[in-house]
Amino acid sequence: MSDPFVVVGGDAAGLSAASKYTRENPDSDVVVFEKGRWVSYAHCGTPYYVKGEVERLTDLLSLSPEEAAERGIDLRREHEVVAVDTDAETVTVEGGGERFEQPYGDLLVATGAHAITDPIDGYHRDMAFTMHGLDSAAAIRAALADPDEPAVDTSIEYVDAELVDHYAAIAPPERVAIVGGGYVGVEMAEAFRAHGLETHVFQRGPHLLSPFGDSVCERVADHLREQGVELHLNCSVEELAGGDRVEAVVHENGRVDVDLALVGIGVAPNSQLLADTPVELGESGAVAVDEYGRTNVENVYAAGDCAEDDHTVTGEPAWVPLGLTANRAGRAIGQTVAGDPEPVGDVAGTAVVKAFELEAGRVGIIDHDDARAAGFDPVTKTITAGSRSGYYPGNEPTTVSLTADRESGRVIGGSIVGKDRAAIRIDTLATALDSDLTVAELERLDLAYAPPFSPVWDPILVAAKVLRGELE
C-alpha cells in the first residue's frame, strides 16, 4: 500500500483538501495532523461571537472532527508536525505522548498564519489578547461577561475550560484598547461597543483599513467616531503597561488607561516548519507555489494562510491570507493529489468588511506605490453616488474609487463603501479585474437597474465614466 496523503493543519485549506481527496479517492488514505483542538472553524466569525451575535463557539465550526471521520479522514488533533524531511518523504509528529515519523506520498502544508504582537511591549500581561483562533475568542468573550453570568459554555469538549474560567472570574472591563486599525480592529471595535465599552483604537499610520484606500478609510473613520469609538490615528503604541494585568496603553504622546487590550497589527505565515527543508519561500515569507499549489519540491504542496498565490492583476506571487483562497486552494490540491489536476486559482485581493453600519469592499491594486512597482502608471478617481434611485427610500451615498493604468486603460483596483448593499458590489469589480477589462469596457457593462437596488447609472458605472474622462 502506498504512503498516505499527509496534511499538516486542520483548518480551511487542510480539511478542504482532505475532504476533496477522500471524495475523489475513497480507498486511499489521508491523514491530517492538527496541533490544536479546534479544526475547520470560521475565523472571520470570531468578532461576531465576541459581540454576541453568534451565540455558541461551536456555531463557528464548519466541519466537526466526527464529520471529518465520517468522510474517511484520519484526523489527529493535538498532534503537531515538528519537522519535514523531503528526502525521506516523512514528517515528524509529536502528539498523544509520542513522537513518530510519518511517511507521506504527498504532503500538504496548511499551517496557516499567526497574529503578530511585536513590537508592542507588555503583551505578556494578562488581559492582553490577539484575535486568532477560537481560544482567543472564548477568552475575550469570557472576559467581557459578568462573573455572575458566564457567557462561554465550558462543557464543550474543545473549549479550554481553564482559560475560560480564568477570564470569566475577572470583573468585566470598562475601557478597552485596540492596537491596530485593520479588519480585526474595526470589527472588534463594533464588538466592544456593542458591550457598551469605552473603546480606543490606535493606528500607527493615518488610515484605518489602509488596504482599502483613502476614500474608504475616511468614511470608516468618520463612522467609527459617530459610533463613539475614540480613534488615535498617527499614534504608535509602545507598551501595554501595568502589573500582572494591562492597565494602560502607552503611546508616543501619552497614555490611556484601559482594562483590556487587543493587539491586531497583522499576521505572519506559519512557514517556519519548512525552514530547514529545500522548500522555497516567497518574498512575503509564505511558501512559494505554482498554479497547482505545488512547491519547488516534488509531492509537497502548500495552501491557505501559509502560502502565496498568483495575483490576478500583476500575475506575480502575492500573499493574501483570506478564507476563500484557503478553501479553494485546499480543495483544488485535494483534487490534484487525487489525480485530476485543478488550478488553485488566482487572488484578486478581494476583501469586504463591516464597520458598524458601513460596508466596505476592495479589490486589486489600489496603492499607487504598489501599482508602480507592478509596472503600472496608476490613475485613481473617486465618486459618491446613490445606491438606489434618488427618490426611493433607503438610498445611501456610495463611494467608489477606481484605479486604472493610464496607458492601457485597464482597471487594476477599486473600492466601495456605503451603508446599502455596498460591499457585495465589489464582486463586480473582482470579475472585471479577472477579465482584464478596461475602464471603457467597465463603463459599458449592462449592470442592473431598478429603483430599490440601483440607480440607472450604478455607482460603479459613474466611477468608470469619471475615470475614463480623466484617462482621455
List, by residue number, the catalytic residues: 44
DSSP secondary structure string, 76-123?
A: EETEEEEEEETTTTEEEEEETTEEEEEE-SEEEE---EEE--TT-BTT
300-333 burial string, b = 16+ CB within 10 Å, else e?
bbbbbbbbbbbbbbbeebbbbbbbebbbbbbbbb
Backbone φ/ψ region at 27: left (φ over 0), alpha (ψ -120 to 50), beta: alpha
Which ranges of 319-425 does DSSP label H, i.e. alpha helix?
Answer: 323-337, 368-373
- Are residues 34 and 10 in contact, defined by beta-carbon separation less than 8 angstroms? yes
Q: From 58, 56, 64, 57, select the one nearest 34 (Cα to Cα).
A: 64
Answer yes or no whether residue 447 interacts with its own copies by CB under 8 A: yes
262/375 Cα distance (integer angstroms): 38
**Rounded-to-integer distance, Cα 130 and Cα 117, Å:** 8
Q: What are phi and psi of 96, to 5 degrees?
A: 60, 30
Assigned C-alpha cell, 181: 486599525
Q: Which is nearer to its own copies, 90 or 327 (CB)?
A: 327
Q: Does 324 bind its own copies (CB under 8 A)?
A: yes
**Interface characters, 38-57, with its own copies (x: CB under 8 A):** ----x-xx--x----xx---
Local structure of residue 139 (DSSP, 8 states) = H
Binding segment (CB under 8 A) for its own copies, from list 91-99, 144-152, 244-252, 356-364 = 356-364
Choices 89-97, 125-133, 227-235, 439-447 (CB under 8 A): range interacting with its own copies: 439-447
In terms of CB distance, is 169 or 424 closer to its own copies? Answer: 424
Q: Please choose, out of 106-114, 147-155, 349-357, 374-382, the segment that lies near its own copies by the rule CB under 8 A.
A: 349-357
347 binds its own copies (CB under 8 A): yes
**Which range of residues in 31-39, 156-164, 196-204, 341-349 is near its own copies by CB under 8 A?**
341-349
Cell output for 43: 475565523
Provide the minimum distance between the beta carbon of 426 and its own copies in the complex, in angstroms, as a whole number.
5
Query: Of 62-81, which residues contact its own copies (CB under 8 A)?
Result: 62
| Strand residues in 165-320 grouped as ranges (E) | 175-179, 198-202, 230-232, 237-242, 246-251, 254-257, 260-263, 267-269, 300-302, 309-310, 317-318
Strand partners, 347: 311
Nearer to its own copies, 144 or 326 (CB): 326
How many other CB atoms are found less than 10 A from the CB of residue 387?
23
Q: Is 452 in the site for its own copies (CB under 8 A)?
A: yes
Distance in angstroms (rounded) separating the CA atoms of residues 323 and 240: 30
- The residue from 6, 8, 12, 261 that contacts its own copies (CB under 8 A) is 12
Cell of 15: 480539511
**Is residue 393 a contact residue for its own copies (CB under 8 A)?**
yes
Q: Does 156 bind its own copies (CB under 8 A)?
A: no
Smallest distance, its own copies to C-beta of residue 164, A: 19
Among 103, 434, 466, 471, binds its own copies (CB under 8 A): 434
By the rule CB under 8 A, 412 interacts with its own copies: no
Q: With binding defined as CB under 8 A, does residue 292 bind its own copies?
A: no
For residue 320, the minimal CB distance to its own copies (Å) is: 8
Using the rule CB under 8 A, is 194 a contact of its own copies?
no
Query: Residue 359, interface with its own copies (CB under 8 A)?
Result: yes
> CB of 275: closest distance to its own copies in angstroms?
29
Contact residues: its own copies, CB under 8 A: 12, 42, 44-45, 48, 53-54, 59-60, 62, 312, 322-325, 327-328, 343, 345-354, 359, 361, 363, 389, 391-393, 421, 423-428, 430-432, 434-435, 437, 441, 444-454, 456-458, 460-461
